[in-house]
């Protein structure tokens, strides 16, 4: 989805006293905002201060505007962490929306996606990811968890540098300023059994030992740009039980708190296959056989029974929900009410990137629950009756946990990842501050009402645009044309 920039975004806010100046490296800084959404709700006259590592050390409400401190162009929200991305899939979004057989499904979509993945090169991956990350920043995301599974060259052989494609993603993140959690994917079999991989999965496959050495190879590169490194066993159908246990043990020895993400119960077929092989549903099997805790993110835990909802929520793991992708692929509906009844944490992923917009993911999530329950404002809470605000704050907190990064909101100790809403956007202009997030989520008409966005205290989006917007879009289009071979 390309996001046309409304004319209002190209003007600076007239109430903006001193412009925050763009700067591509971190330094200590401060910003004053008339309104800011803190973890407890909206506050007035908020002064933020952060240190040279981009970490907030003071968030003071009711402050006097100090001399020499820039004023935010509008109300501030925490930036949204994106907990699930396969960057290369951005380049074929929109290319699978046609009927290929009597009943298209996740599995027929996956065949098309594999044909596309087969043609990715390090150069095209970097170009696609660079544009995708520009889009994410412009749409309110401050960080991404990259669930990265294309490791090898087109014949399935390791590149001379085994980390070649991972490094392309890290470069795209560094260049755009998006914070990254890199999750190299362990993929070994084409189904429960274990069944040998298909030839079109050859680029994904590696042994557990080679995964652990890849992690060791990537650790210094991640550290150099403050990226978080974790692991993503692809799914129970792609990783046999002994490999899964060994990989989790190996990661824990390398980095005890590192995040672990897994696709878990996206498709009913997958649940049936798991029942047939293990005699248990996938989430239940995982809970019974692995040390599932707060490090874990269960991506697409769509098909769970009541016992699994309770067990998974109580484990402390984050539910990784990707509302527009799950709708696009016809996965099913995650039961938020059951998850929240057990106090479960959750966050958002844009996954296949048919949509790259944090606000629109929240809209889809709330609407799916409304359609299912025939009720309104399902995900509002007693503490936060504005459904947009309740959703935003919860997804920021769960997303930060899944990312293994301190980006859980505007509070001391968290990174200075935040955005300023565009109060000149027609959907927001003149509304009371309490209504702004809901207006952004439910009424901004598929255009982003994000005016500016900071990551680690560094201004990355100004007046709705990232500095690399034009050049990254051009390189993305060229890379996609080469891969898709239109005509």
Choose the catalytic residue: 234, 261, 335, 351. Answer: 351
CA distance 456 to 311: 35
Residue placing its CB nearer to Zn ion in the complex, 351 or 360:
351
Q: How far is the CB of 18 from Zn ion (least distance, A)?
A: 42
Contact set with Zn ion (CB under 5 A): 351
**351 catalytic, yes or no?**
yes
Q: How far is the CB of 101 from Zn ion (least distance, A)?
A: 23
Q: How far is the CB of 86 from Zn ion (least distance, A)?
A: 6
CA distance 181 to 218: 12
CA distance 435 to 428: 8
Half-sphere exposure of 205 (CA within 13 A, CB side): 16
Residue placing its CB nearer to Zn ion in the complex, 263 or 295:
263
φ/ψ of 227, rounded to 5, equals -85, 150
CA distance 202 to 224: 30
Tell how strand 296-299 and strand 260-263 pair up: parallel
Choose the catalytic residue: 300, 303, 440, 466. Answer: 300
Opening angle at CA 133, ends 130 and 138, nearest 5: 130
Chain-centroid distance of CA 223 in Å reads 20
CA distance 365 to 333: 9
Q: How far is the CB of 232 from Zn ion (least distance, A)?
A: 9
Residue placing its CB nearer to Zn ion in the complex, 146 or 351:
351
Residue placing its CB nearer to Zn ion in the complex, 335 or 351:
351
Residue placing its CB nearer to Zn ion in the complex, 351 or 366:
351
When CB distances to Zn ion are compared, the closest residue is 351
Residue placing its CB nearer to Zn ion in the complex, 46 or 348:
348
Q: How far is the CB of 319 from Zn ion (least distance, A)?
A: 14
Q: How far is the CB of 212 from Zn ion (least distance, A)?
A: 22
CA distance 344 to 311: 10
296-299 β-sheet, strand order: 260-263, 296-299, 318-321, 345-348
CA distance 322 to 302: 10
Contacts of 160 (CB under 8 A, 6+ apart): none
The residues annotated with a catalytic role in the active site are 300, 351
């Amino acid at each position: 989805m390309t996001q046309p920039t409304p004319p209002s975004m190209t003007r600076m806010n007239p109430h903006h006293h001193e412009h925050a100046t763009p700067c591509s490296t971190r330094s200590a800084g401060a910003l004053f905002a008339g309104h800011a959404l803190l973890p407890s709700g909206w506050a007035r006259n908020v002064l933020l201060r952060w240190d040279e590592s981009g970490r907030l050390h003071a968030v003071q409400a009711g402050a006097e505007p100090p001399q020499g401190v820039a004023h935010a162009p509008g109300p501030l929200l925490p930036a949204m962490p994106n907990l699930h991305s396969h960057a290369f899939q951005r380049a074929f979004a929109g290319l699978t929306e046609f009927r290929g057989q009597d009943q298209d499904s996740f599995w027929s979509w996956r065949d098309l996606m594999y044909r596309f993945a087969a043609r990715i090169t390090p150069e095209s991956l970097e170009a696609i990811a660079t544009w995708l990350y520009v889009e994410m920043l412009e749409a309110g995301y401050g960080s991404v968890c990259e669930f990265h599974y294309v490791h090898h060259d087109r014949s399935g052989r390791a590149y001379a540098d085994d980390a070649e494609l991972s490094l392309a993603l890290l470069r795209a993140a560094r260049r755009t300023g998006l914070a990254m959690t890199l999750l190299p994917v362990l993929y070994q079999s084409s189904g429960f059994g274990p069944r040998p991989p298909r030839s079109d999965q050859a680029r994904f496959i590696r042994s557990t030992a080679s995964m652990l050495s890849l992690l060791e190879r990537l650790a210094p590169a991640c550290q150099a740009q403050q990226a978080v490194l974790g692991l993503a066993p692809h799914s129970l159908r792609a990783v046999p039980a002994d490999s899964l246990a060994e990989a989790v043990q190996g990661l824990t020895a390398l980095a005890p708190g590192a995040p672990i993400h897994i696709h878990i119960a996206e498709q009913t077929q997958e649940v049936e296959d798991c029942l047939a092989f293990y005699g248990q549903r996938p989430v239940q099997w995982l809970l019974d056989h692995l040390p599932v805790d707060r490090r874990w993110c269960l991506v697409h835990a769509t098909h769970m029974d009541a016992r699994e909802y309770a067990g998974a929520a109580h484990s402390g793991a984050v539910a990784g929900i990707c509302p527009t992708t799950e709708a696009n692929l016809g996965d099913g509906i995650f039961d938020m009410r059951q998850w929240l009844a057990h106090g479960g944490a959750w966050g958002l992923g844009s996954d296949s990137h048919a949509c790259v917009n944090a606000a629109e993911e929240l809209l889809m999530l709330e609407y799916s629950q409304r359609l299912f329950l025939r009720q309104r404002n399902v995900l509002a809470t007693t503490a936060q009756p504005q459904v947009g605000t309740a959703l935003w704050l919860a997804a920021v907190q769960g997303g930060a946990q899944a990312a293994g990064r301190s980006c859980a909101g505007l509070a001391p100790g968290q990174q200075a990842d935040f955005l300023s809403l565009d109060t000149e956007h027609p959907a927001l202009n003149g509304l009371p501050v309490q209504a702004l997030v809901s207006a952004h989520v439910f009424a901004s008409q598929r255009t982003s009402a994000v005016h500016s966005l900071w990551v680690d205290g560094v201004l990355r989006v100004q007046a709705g645009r990232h500095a690399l917007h034009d050049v990254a879009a051009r390189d993305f289009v060229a890379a996609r044309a080469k891969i898709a071979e239109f005509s």
